[in-house]
Amino acid sequence: MKAYLLAVIICMTLVFTSCADSMNNADNYVQISDNYRNYYEIFVRSFCDSDGDGIGDLNGVSDKLDYIKEDVGADGIWLMPIMPSPSYHKYDVMDYYEIDPQYGTMDDFEKLIEQAHNRDMKVIIDLVLNHSSHLNPWFREAVAGLWDDEENEYTHYYNFTDQYVGSGYTKVTDKYYYEARFSPDMPDLNLDNQKLRSEILDIAKYWIDHGVDGFRLDAVTSYYTGNETKNTEFMKWLNDSVKEYKADAYFVGEAWTTQAIIAEFYTSGIDSFFNFPFSQAEGTIVRNLNTQKGGKLAEAMGSWNDTIKSFNGEAIDAPFLSNHDNARSAGFLMRNLCKKKMAASIYLLMPGNPFIYYGEEIGMTGSGNDPNKRLPMLWSTRNTAGITDIPPEANQSITELDGVDAQMKDKNSLLNHYKKVLALKKRFPQIARGQMKALDTHNSELCAYTMTYNNSTVVVIHNLSGNELSEDLEKHGLSDMKVKGSLFCDTHNRTPRIVKGKAILAPNSTTILE
């Protein structure tokens, strides 16, 4: 009888200890007040239509905040351009101080900001400073002056010349040309002009006063085409000037270029730059995932983070798989559910702020022209509520894919995998913020690294192979580590475990040790 009671007591103790450990892991998360977030990129037009006119709108985004926060797990939003524009994509701004009427009103925007902040979500918006629309009053006033052969204050907002310079310049009068690198409808701004810089700062302050937490900077390599020194100087001015007004304003720049140039750009003080070399079909993540070279991937991740922090100690990497300019990741991952899950685990658990392109979490596809990469969010295949019309000139559709509603009910879906990854990540602030160190593993298929933050270390291990592998933790001085979480491509896989100092890792899985 005494033996039986002792066994019961031991079992109950183990149960309560296990429950307590689980509860502590779930409840010990406190949102840290800094600029680390998991961002969700939204093309408003194609995201959610709240009023049935076929065009997504800000109220539609507000309606889906719980989905973004609770069902995906993101705690930041990037809104692609929301200012008035003649184009469907809105990267040619007519008025920097308004909301495009297709998307709603300023009241709608302020409601969205308030509801997001109530959920502890940050909101950043696209700030397009390389060019404006040719219909912007600045440009129209400038051209009107040139027709009269008179200069005015707006003449100097743009790069006019009385000689044809070559490609990237468009004739506007009998005498004058203007720089327009992307399109004649997008005249380049003269960012050397001090009055324009003052206007840009006023624009940033205006949107900060309306509640935004920061800005995504479009096409930063084109501010001064071919002159990276001047690009960096302008970004430093912008960063310093805006942060005098709002110290915690967050900037992420689009520098679609080489690692060397991106690294140099970090000297500007801009918080983040999108990690293009790791993204897309030929990027570091997918290339090493397809070849199962986990060790090479960990080494590349560690080297990149060391590099950017050598240029700016506060640098925050911004990894992603695909965005509105790229073929969607589900396509170049061959619609393979396991590959999509592993790719998600890898980029979401990299140091820094990952960016999820809307629909990536359910495996949406799209390639070719830009409208095909910005197709309507697939909320359901049975119910059209909230689903927008396709963008102009799109010639693809999404097939053989379950919508959000069905994936939410499927525990093995890609959507639920994203939710599991980000829920696990929330428990360990070290993953986003820590100092990274790649581990030289016995198995080349393992991508393993430590993340240390506030004197606390976690280990992230991705097994990129289809086999169960073991790794000697004692070899790495990690014998005191314990399994704290795991993610699988196949729900039937055995959970990872530690046996005699060795971590036993399931095929195509991710394991967190602490």
Which residue has 């602030």 as its token pair?
A: 429
Determine which helix (DSSP H) or strand (DSSP E) holds 439, and give its type and residue range.
none
Backbone angles phi, psi at 472, to 5 degrees: -75, 110
Task: Write the DSSP assignment of 184-216 as a string of letters.
Answer: TTSPBB-TT-HHHHHHHHHHHHHHHHTT--EEE
Strand-pair category, 214-217 with 122-127:
parallel
**CA proximity to 189, closest of 143, 152, 154:** 154
Task: Write the DSSP assignment of 1-65 as a string of letters.
Answer: -HHHHHHHHHHHHHHHHHHHHHHHHHH-----SSS---EEEE-HHHH--SSSSSS--HHHHHHTH
Residue 91 contacts residue 186 (beta carbons within 8 Å): yes
For the chain, how far is it from start to end, CA to CA, in angstroms? 39
Radius of gyration of the chain (CA): 25
d(CA 216, CA 341): 27
Strand-pair category, 39-42 with 76-79:
parallel
Order of all β-strands in the sheet with 456-463: 435-438, 446-453, 456-463, 509-513, 483-488
Active site residue 325: no
Beta bridge partners of 76: 39, 122
Task: Write the DSSP assignment of 76-134 as a string of letters.
Answer: EEEEPP-S--SSSS--S-S-TTS--TTT--HHHHHHHHHHHHHTT-EEEEEE--SB--T
Active site residue 314: no
Look up residue 334 and give its amino acid: M
**CA proximity to 88, closest of 355, 374, 318, 366:** 374
Catalytic residue among 218, 271, 317, 402: 218
Residue 55 contacts residue 388 (beta carbons within 8 Å): yes
Backbone angles phi, psi at 174, to 5 degrees: -60, -20
Residue 128: is it exposed, middle or buried by C-beta count within 10 angstroms (0-12/13-18/19+)? buried
Token duo for residue 84: 């008035």
Catalytic residue among 126, 254, 317, 361: 254
Catalytic residues: 218, 254
